[in-house]
Structure 1
Amino acid sequence: MTPKEGEEWERSHYTPLSERREQHAMRHAHIFLIVGALVALGLFAVPAQAAPVICEKFGSTTIQNGRYVVINNVWGADTAQCIDVNQSGGFTVTQAAHNKPTNGAPASYPAIYAGCHYANCSTGSGLPMQASASGFGSLRSSVSMTYPGGGTWDAAYDIWFDPTPRTDGQNTGAELMIWLNRQGSIQPVGSPVGTVNLAGGTWQVWFGNSGWNVISYVRTSATSSLDFTIDTFYADAVSRGYAQRSWYMTSVQAGFEPWIGGAGLAVNSFSFGSGGGTTDTTPPSTPGTPSAANVTSSGATLTWAASTDNVGVTGYDVMRATGDTFTRVGGGSATSFTDTGLSPSTTYRYRIRARDAAGNVSPDSAIVTLTTQPGGGGGGSCAVTPTTQTAWNNGYVIQPVTVANRGTSAMNGWTVTFPLPSGHTITGIWNATYTVSGGTVTVRSLAHNGSLAPGASTSFGYQATRPNGNTQVPSGYTCA
């Protein structure tokens, strides 16, 4: 997702990413530069496969027998751009006459990718793949890049997720961007929400929404290469409530967004697949029994001893139950978790499981049982105000849904409920978790936004589909 200055710019001036990157790309056949060959009386042969130079705005080609697709994709400008495609797995921007203002969208996104993007699919990628599939945890990608000394640009992965296994059209789940480097006064869409250590580096996490969730990881110290499991970053996005395990990954892309210049930007190598070498089938060890602390009427903090693994633990799942069925309510790479939005005077049971990079899952830990305190909300008075950001024939985005403490004492976690009209389906939510039961949606706060001082407020948002021609949006919100 490209940078922006302020929420209003994003909404009114920034074309959604899939449209701005590829809205015309599928209208054009793959463009190949015909490389001249000396042919004299049959003594010289034409090369079987030449690496093309692509200068057409939306031109693309495949390399390595279709394993990857390379796209020029000058979606945001009419200035010239050419890329020299490397059959071994990359490309170099050889010409880029861009000069775009940095408070707007970039000129292009030249990239290499595996998977499907607007029906332009590589071969053998195994995508789309559901993020809950057993093989998802073993998916890896690597990239090596070269950067020029001048210009204004970012170097970023762009990884797409959709609630369905679609191979064409706009993805409406999540867009996960991983910024290895940037040059100039540019930033991702949205606003920073935290910092995390992943894949051997420290990343500032940004969140925004453009009709789908946009989660950007900006490396605090630039790097020219990265080798990582996709789930390293996706698990973090899931733990923050910005993505869901039921969604499908449709493509993994790596490239550049130039505003000014861009010549010299290069992907030297790119790979995507289920790792290499010997398959890891060893699960992590059982996590330690969780212990509960800071139990209030609406929340509790769990801690546990770390698991070990022959390769490395990538994250933990926190499972919660009030009856016999355990449901994942959060997790991440840390060995602690604060659960919020609980009901007063209610008994909850928790257990923990660990995951590694190959998708192996540990045995469940022993169970800890706790009972929340009576009362609720710390004596605060909760108010909720929804806003319809946008609506179309068969869907809508509600954001912000503002949750405010109108009382005189602190709130320690909040819960918002509302009826979902018949035929409507929530496809994504951000800054909160949710469940749907009997047509009632229950939204709960996360660890970072559950505590509200008197007069303070926070917000969440969600996207939903509805039957064609139905103009309803939810109403009747209540907050506790």
Structure 2
Amino acid sequence: MTNRSTTDGSTTERSTYAADPGRRPARALLTALLGCVLPLLSVLLLAVAPPASAASLTEVTDFGSNPSGLRMHLYVPAGAGERPAVLVAVHYCTGSGPAFYSGTEFASLADRYGFIVIYPSATRSGNCFDVSSPQALRRDGGSDPVGIRSMVGYVQQHYGSDPGRVFVAGASSGAMMTNVLLGNYPDVFKAGAAFMGVPHSCFATTDGSGWNSACANGTVDRTPQQWGGLVRAAYPGYSGARPRMQLWHGTEDATLRYPNLNEEIDQWTDVLGVSRTPASTDSPQSGWTRTRYGSSGAQAPVEAISVQGVGHSLPASGMAARAIAFFGLDSSTPTDPGPGTDPTPANCRVAYTTSAWNTGLTATITLTNTGTTPLTGWSLAFTLPTGQTITSGWGATYSPAGGAVTATGLAYNATLAPGAAVQIGFQANHTGNTGKPSAFTVGGAACGTG
């Protein structure tokens, strides 16, 4: 059984483990007999023991640009299918990736739903992540966020993960990093869940210190527009879709105090362009107050959960599953059904036309929602023929430029009503093959074509 007190700053964060005491023989004779018998029992037990699970936590030591020397641990469940989703799970101060793996429910949820989990480990003093330096608070600035982005790229390259389904969840220092990552890399992360965090740039310092007492104490109060401006300044000029955010905080948090929750709500409602007035308020569990902004659905643009009477000790049991549901990962990852089997169709249809010349082409894509409910936050995945490389695009963000591409809707067209269509497209170079992708998927399920 694991008990963890999760804090930042001067308070110690730790895990304590209770071990069952071994049975002690009452007589010396029994001790002698056991000395003879135990080696034989060990051999027998090895012979009949069940095989270990195929999935285990492994360390990756060379994953790309890593200016601050982070460590990377990876959990790939046995049930991960093709193009699996990725979750980055970020630990608290004094913690580590392996400790967060052992002390949270994300790995067991990955076993159930087939997504890959990345566990970064901070290596600076106190094992806190850098969320305060100028380098950390801008895209590709040269600190911890760069290393974490490299980890995501490593998994995409080596495991063929879906670049349109990358998420991040963190606790305390990891929650602050969640806010930072969503601001610095809105084109990488689809959504985040921050357990006991503070807004992006709230912890900023200029004296080299990693601790900002005013922010931690909840006394930094800015307008939604000011908070939103700090996020936008992390990636100047970016105009694509922004990730959704789920926020958690205990009302009695004495480490990163509760007023920070309202400041986070101010920031992300402004960034996502939704009203600060809740679209819905409910209590999904005793002592919880949940507010949703921008819509009342399970995957609202912003969702905040206040936990009454609780201090700096999240996530508690069951909360990780709520985050996974917010991400939309609470169903088995679709896998390739094999030759001769038609995949389950999604509620979408794609029309694709091209106009080619010498070494270039223009592609026009029309995505139609054929379902009966809105298609929210869509990402359209397809594989370009060999030799085609996207040079520019419109109506969506495209990543990467060749091979297995994901086109993600922008803020103005990310939601398609039933029966509605959106037209997007791109220009590409080619080396002779001007053909079309053979299939298109939304959320891992195949769209109809024509």
**Structure 1 length normalisation: TM-score?**
0.30
Larger helix proportion, structure 1 or 2? 2
Which protein is richer in strand relative to its size?
Answer: 1
TM-score normalised by structure 2 residue count: 0.32
